[in-house]
Amino acid sequence: MNHNQQNILAWYRKALSLDLFDEVHWYSNRNQEAEALAVKLGMRMSVVVGVIAVISPNVRWETNLRDAEVLMETYWEKGELEATFCKISTYGTNKTKALQILGGGEIFNYVKGPKVSSFYENILYPYSSGAVTVDRHAWRIWKGLETEFSDMPDLRYHNRYQQISEDYREVASQVDLLPHQLQAITWVAFREMNGNING
């Protein structure tokens, strides 16, 4: 086990000591919330999760889900133009991607980048996904950092993201979890130990 894998394992043990094992179900719980929203709006699950994923960067889950619902309801009830001016907590370019998906665009033309595409897959397929959503907390866990106050390199480069993901997969196999389950439980532990900081 390499040094970074040991760091992940250490955070997993911290999560267990904090009685956070149920957080392995984080993505399956989000799947259920997304499914409930899809049923409510009469939309395909893949579209709902696509919208959620593209507007997710730097947004807490509760806000992410609420914003997705507001944007989708506005789009279907008042039209694309009104939805364009809908106030939600995301970057303008990400809102545009969401509107393109709602307009019938091919989802994978907009669900791009390793983090967003992994988040999409983890929520849509929580019982089988092998993807790892690597955000700033997941990176700090991998690095063995105890706090959020540290600079993070650009993880958009495929090789760097893949290296971190592979280390999560290796540790997950050793503790009998899916990779995203390990990422989720350690991610929650990191937030808990840092005052529930933004994810």
Inside any domain, residue 198? no
Q: Does 82 lie in the same domain as 152?
A: no
Q: Which domain holds residue 133?
A: 3-25+115-193
Inside any domain, residue 199? no
Q: Which pTM does this prediction carry? A: 0.92
Q: Does 121 lie in the same domain as 46?
A: no
Helix axes 3-17, 158-174, angle to 10 degrees: 50
Q: Does 159 lie in the same domain as 133?
A: yes
Last residue of a domain, one of 64, 87, 112: 112
Counting residues of the chain whose pLDDT is more than 70, the rounded percentage is: 92
Cβ-Cβ contacts under 8 Å for 37 (sequence gap 6 or more): 43, 48, 65, 68, 69, 72
Q: Predicted confidence band at 149 (pLDDT cuts at 50, 70, 90)?
A: low
Q: Predicted confidence band at 197 (pLDDT cuts at 50, 70, 90)?
A: low
Q: Does 188 lie in the same domain as 120?
A: yes
Q: Does 128 lie in the same domain as 174?
A: yes
Q: Residue 126, SS3?
A: coil
Residue 147, pLDDT score: 64
- Say how far apart CA 142 and CA 140 lie, in whole Å: 5
- Say how far apart CA 32 and CA 53 lie, in whole Å: 15
Q: Does 51 lie in the same domain as 97?
A: yes
pLDDT in tens, 100-147: 999 999 999 999 999 999 999 999 999 999 999 999 899 999 999 876
Tokens 């619902």 -> residue: 69
DSSP 84: H
